[in-house]
Structure 1
Amino acid sequence: MASRPTDLSLYVGLMSGTSLDGTDGVVFDAASLAVIGHVHAPFPAALREELLALNTPGPNELHRAALAANAVARSYADVVAQLLEATGRRRDEIAAIGAHGQTVRHQPGGFEGYTSQLLNGALLAEQSGIDVVCDLRSRDVAAGGQGAPLVPAFHRAVFSTEGQDAAVLNLGGISNLSLLFADGRTGGFDCGPANCLMDGWIARHQGRAYDADGAWAATGRVSPALLATLLAEPFFALAPPKSTGRDLFHLGWLQTRLVPGLAPQDVQATLLELSARCVADALHTHMPGARQVIACGGGALNGRLMQRLSDLLPGVAVQSSAARGLPVDQVEAAAFAWLAQCFKEKRPGNLPAVTGAAGLRRLGCLYPA
């Protein structure tokens, strides 16, 4: 058998986030920090519903979670095959796959902390024929960290602006900020809900997966009373390091805080305002000198949300990551390809100043091809 090259620079990154809209996959050239191919594949409806259900306690969870992890692996393997075909690459040209898995529980904190991303890494390695690096958050949590966000170091590598404080904002199901200070310091933390509550609310009332461009929210009026109640959530006042997810921000959380008599579109307008406010408030507190926000994730395609961010951040240029050469739906997948490179090169992937971990750690586990 021919030996495998040891100087490969191509990695595959696979990301399925808390929005549950499916998998984004990229072929990433680690030498040039460039994406050379991208595929998006929605989850089958039954898998999406099961993954959403597994975010909360239910019957027979161990069995259901194992089956869902297998289904995620098969879905990921299909994306890898599509990527190789689209880019004309062979599997032996890929150094490794960096695969995030699907988060269903995120409870960091102390020795009892944990984070759970469903993915059968062994099955993905078996089906793809490529080394798989996955379970990328657990080691940081084991070291006392939040396990999130893991992307700030990657954001500095691709988006830092010399001589200027800049922030990278990921608007997925949850929003998170990477703070790229002009003096070289890097910070980051989760801000709160970005799309998860808006998506859930429009699905409940209109049967749609998301509010395209914030059009439904635009027909409603923000309720100051509801907004104040939502912003009173203690998470928003916590100092970093901090992370969150659907464990906290879900429709049940919203339901207990609803103000009687509001029209559904007014709730949607208020949820959009919440998504914008929790980011703007965080930026005012932790990087008041920011002059640029580079937005990525599905929420960056929501024109109304982007406009509200601009309104709440006067003097700050709010732009899409596409303007910096990396489309909004490719950034996180590229970050996990980069984290796979860190693992393969035996380099740490976390930033203790961001996650609160006890120190630098090599992140992930390897399932060889």
Structure 2
Amino acid sequence: MAANVTSAGLEVAFVGDWLLQSDSADIEPILARVKALEAGQRLFFATAKLGRWDSLLVTELIKIIDCATGKRLAVDKATLPAPLQGLLALVYAVPERLDAQRVTRKMRWSEALSAETAAAVRHAKEMLIFVGDMTLSTLAAVRGQAHFRRQDLWLYIQECGPSALPIVTLISLLVGLILAFVGAVQLSLFGAQIYIANLVSLGMTREMGGLMTAIIMSGRTGAAYAAQIGTMHVNSEIDALKTMNLDPMAFLVLPRMLALIIIMPLLCLYADLMGIVGGGLVTVNFFDVSLTEYLDRTASAVKMKDFIIGFVKCSVFGILIALSGCMRGMQCGRSASAVGDAGTSAVVTAIVFIVVADSVMTIICNRLGI
């Protein structure tokens, strides 16, 4: 590109081929000369030597024309090729909206705090509404008025039960190993390695078995529920259910929640067993404790109330996981990225609820002396 200033105005001549990757298209000198002209002068283009061109030429022409218009110069587009004139006509057919671009401004800390508070209140309200709708659907199911397919319930039990056994087995074994090693470090100082069985069995049955199972299921099943319902929301399948007079809460959420309530205590029991097995592997193989002694200490340390506490916790965790996953799925937007965001939000929400609920129930059990 070359530019020549004449008495008639500014002549812009395009020489050679104009390519998108061309390094010779330096428009800044031309813009500087356009700004130096006085109002009323004429700007025209000499395109006799113009070869190939693409969208970059149109972009640069727009910059030149806008600069000339701002200086109140007369722009002559007659010498441009017809395709270029057509593209420029399309560009200037509808003027650009001044408020079309996003404007970002730095918020003060008080404004940010107010916005976060309003968002928290809105989320809490949405959560209460969802829990209320779920409660009404549950009561309708108790009265026999809820409509969902029983085969769906068995399918969800299969998905969140037997299909989760491999990962639950692996994690529970490793947690039992970790508890045994951590306890052995301190207990071996007093020659009390036999109490490793007490530590592992009580830790798994009352706390770690249910907690680790819940965390696994929140990442595995809770996210899956959010993605499934979110995809149905994107595809307008939930709207179709409402059109057919089917309650989405009863048809989609209730069987998933029932499946987790049924399966979570069983998975908790299985996780307790695998954790005790993992602790036994460490205790018997690395410390001076026989298998019979380990089993005797485990049987004497664990009471029925310990299993019941673990079962109750896991049932509560199952409700929280199902509510978190289904709630985020029902709140999903209408885009593909919203489905991924719903899955991520479901996992985070479920884990936060699980930790808070576990802390509250542990404090209650401590205060009640159980």
Report TM bin, short chain: under 0.3
Structure exhibiting the larger radius of gyration computed from Cα positions: 2
TM-score for both structures, normalised by structure 1: 0.23
Query: Greater helix percent: which structure?
Result: 2
Q: Normalising to structure 2: TM-score of the pair?
A: 0.23
